[in-house]
Amino acid sequence: MTTTVLLVDDHPVVRSGLRAVLDTDTVHVVGEAATGEEAVTLAAHLHPDVVLCDLRLGAGIDGIQTTAALRALDPAPAVLILTTFDRDAEILGAIEAGAAGYLLKDVAPEVIIEGIHRAAGGDMFLAPDLAGRVLQGMRNPLPRLTERELEVLRLMSTGAANKDIARTLFVTEATVKSHIAHIFTKLDVDSRSRAIHLAQETGLI
Amino acid sequence: MTTTVLLVDDHPVVRSGLRAVLDTDTVHVVGEAATGEEAVTLAAHLHPDVVLCDLRLGAGIDGIQTTAALRALDPAPAVLILTTFDRDAEILGAIEAGAAGYLLKDVAPEVIIEGIHRAAGGDMFLAPDLAGRVLQGMRNPLPRLTERELEVLRLMSTGAANKDIARTLFVTEATVKSHIAHIFTKLDVDSRSRAIHLAQETGLI
DNA sequence: CTGAATCTCAACCTTTTGGACGATGCCGAC
DNA sequence: GTCGGCATCGTCCAAAAGGTTGAGATTCAG
């Protein structure tokens, strides 16, 4: 029995590649979308078994938001994330949003096909090298930063000084320092550059 | 007359996609390579007119080094860079290494084909949105950092304190501070986080 | 040889950052 | 109503980072 698949990627070349590689006797590509919005519309009409979705989709909503929207459809397709990046926060975010699996783009085509069938069957499918990381990520979850703290962290990462951040957020420097102190405690670091580095590594920002 | 092309990309899916999209009556894909080393070996045997090369090639030498090696062949193929990223330093680096053009992966297939023919004809071919940036980059060149300064900058960007950097490089903190002062002057910034941000934005590190 | 660039280090000073308190007001959960 | 989390602000202090100046050693090109 063939599994129907909808491709979502903002690069035409990648879509062609996936179509060429996936369209076999067990997998049938029924559509392609370049954006998350388009993906949701198409999925609502085509009812694919599986949506194969990139995380980075250029402008518009990202892969995680797309996943959530797709999972809210009825019937909901299984969503398989296929992307180049392996930042922890994104993987966790995709899983939380209801993705059935997460694959890196450098895997062999057969692995993607296997993942599609597993996803269609209701299984979870994680690239082997990611599985351990994800489990550890769930055991050692990154502390949840508040929205305000994330704002400060993002500004910090652009090189803004406390004074700049204070001006941008219309608060005093004391408040910024307070937020930063909390951020440091939560991330278990003791300098802004380390915080920035950690945040970028884990995909927190 | 058909133009012969060698594809270089570490993602099998992208190679398939490019082959599917490019193999027309005017372009003939004569080979694929997953690494820079493989690309040079294949190019030496196949003498393609054009090598279409990603900048990020996973392990091994990167696209810029590959470009330089390819241009040293005789006869040298034209090298067209096709990549997802548009960091200034990488674009300039590729051009310096002898690339005939630089395209972003989100362009339409026809643009790639046009680029291939232009490159085969000896033209330069830059994605329009990049051309201006490159010209400006040549007018406003990023100051050249010395090897030592780059080392310090890289360590800084991982969150290392001056003390850590000093230990890692086996010099005193005074030396590190001296290097950092030079870096700041050259980059025209006044804090390490700004330096890190600028360096990451421009692809300096 | 001379000069320029680079790497190394030091002393001195100012500013920024970070740590450690505490305090207020707000809001939502229990 | 009370409690906890959050955002806001403050003070005091120590440490780190940044700015300035100068200087010895090396290397490399002209």
Q: Are residues B114 and B181 in the same domain?
A: no
pLDDT interval class at B141 (50, 70, 90): low
Q: Are residues B102 and B183 in the same domain?
A: no
Which nucleotide is at minimal CA–C1' distance from A192? C17
For B9, the closest chain A residue by CA position comes to A106
Q: Are residues B93 and B181 in the same domain?
A: no
Residues in chain B: 205
Q: For all residues of chain A together, what is the average pLDDT?
A: 91
A17 touching chain B per CB within 8 A:
yes
CATH number at residue B159: 1.10.10.10
Q: What pTM did the predictor assign?
A: 0.87
- Which of B75, B83, B102 has its CA nearest to residue B8? B83
Structural domain of residue A85, as residue ranges? 3-139
- Which of A66, A202, A86 has its CA nearest to residue A144? A202
Evaluate if the CB of B191 falls below 7 Å from strand C. yes
- What are A77-130's pLDDT values in tens digits? 999 999 888 788 888 888 888 999 999 888 889 999 999 999 999 998 888 778
Q: How far is the CA of B160 from the C1' of C22 (A)?
A: 32
Q: Rounded to whole angstroms, how far apart are CA atoms A43 and B167?
A: 56
Q: What integer pLDDT is reported at residue A140 of this predicted model? A: 66
Q: Are residues A125 and A152 in the same domain?
A: no
Backbone angles phi, psi at B57, to 5 degrees: -125, 35
Q: Are residues A101 and A197 in the same domain?
A: no
Q: For all residues of chain B together, what is the average pLDDT?
A: 91
pLDDT interval class at A205 (50, 70, 90): confident
- What are B42-97's pLDDT values in tens digits? 999 999 999 999 998 988 898 998 999 999 998 999 999 998 887 888 888 888 88
Q: Is A202 helix (H, G, I), strand (E, B) or coil?
A: helix
Cβ-defined contact of B189 to A112 (cutoff 8 Å): no
Q: What integer pLDDT is reported at residue A200 of this predicted model? A: 94
Q: Are residues B21 and B94 in the same domain?
A: yes
Taking CA A172 as the corner, what is the angle to CA A167 and CA A178, rounded to the nearest 5 degrees? 115
Of A14, A108, A161, the CB nearest to B17: A14
Q: Is the pLDDT score of B137 beyond 80?
A: no
Q: Are residues B157 and B59 in the same domain?
A: no
Q: Rounded to whole angstroms, how far apart are CA atoms B57 and B81?
A: 12
Q: Are residues A135 and A156 in the same domain?
A: no
Show which of A123, A139, A155 is a domain's final residue.
Answer: A139
pLDDT interval class at B161 (50, 70, 90): very high
| Least confident window among A128-132, A174-178, B120-124, B167-171 | A128-132
Residue A132 exposure: Cα atoms within 13 Å on the Cβ side: 2
pLDDT interval class at B138 (50, 70, 90): low
Show which of A114, A139, A164 is a domain's final residue.
Answer: A139
Q: What integer pLDDT is reported at residue A25 of this predicted model? A: 93
Domains identified in chain B, total number: 2
| Least confident window among A129-133, A148-152, B140-144 | B140-144
Evaluate if the CB of B179 falls below 7 Å from strand C. yes
Average pLDDT, stretch A54-77?
A: 91
Q: Is A109 helix (H, G, I), strand (E, B) or coil?
A: helix
**What DSSP element (H or E) covers A70?**
helix A63-71
Q: Are residues B93 and B129 in the same domain?
A: yes
pLDDT interval class at A138 (50, 70, 90): low
Q: How far is CA B36 from CA A112, B32, B91, in A?
A: 25, 11, 17
Q: Are residues B44 and B120 in the same domain?
A: yes
Cβ-defined contact of B12 to A21 (cutoff 8 Å): yes
In chain A, residues 26-55 whose CB comes closer than 8 Å to chain B: none
Distance to chain B for A60, nearest Cα, Å? 15
- Full 3-state SS string of B84-139: CCCCHHHHHHHHHCCCCEEEECCCCHHHHHHHHHHHHCCCCEECHHHHHHHHHHHH
Show which of B110, B139, B168 is a domain's final residue.
Answer: B139
| Strand C nucleotides where any atom sits below 7 Å of a protein CB | 5-11, 16-23
Q: Rounded to whole angstroms, how far apart are CA atoms A114 and A126?
A: 11
Q: Are residues B87 and B186 in the same domain?
A: no
Q: Are residues A117 and A48 in the same domain?
A: yes
A4: CB partners within 8 A, 6+ apart: A28, A29, A30, A46, A47, A48, A49, A50
Evaluate if the CB of B118 falls below 7 Å from strand D. no
